[in-house]
Amino acid sequence: MNRSLSTFTLNIGKSGINENVIDEIKRQLKAHEVIKVKFSKSISSEKQNYITEITEKSKSKLVDLRGNVAVIYKKNR
């Protein structure tokens, strides 16, 4: 599914997630419905916590997680 779609990819680095990152995720989900979030290897231990925070605050769903890349989906209304 996600390979055939043109998706937005957001990189999350050492500084992690803040409200600006969450706001950008919300904007991109509204524009694209499906986005990829790529996590730096240096924060891979916090990856699951970040995914939970992203999906809760953006009211989206985790579709796929492969390595350090999460695919997030939110249906536009």
14 vs 26: CA distance, rounded Å: 21
| Number of folded domains that form the chain | 1
3 lies in some domain:
no
Is the pLDDT score of 5 beyond 80? no
pLDDT tens for 9-63 read 999 999 999 999 999 999 999 999 999 999 999 998 999 999 999 999 999 999 9
* Domain range for 52: 8-73
Question: Is there a domain that residue 2 lies in?
Answer: no
pLDDT in tens, 61-77: 999 999 999 999 999 87
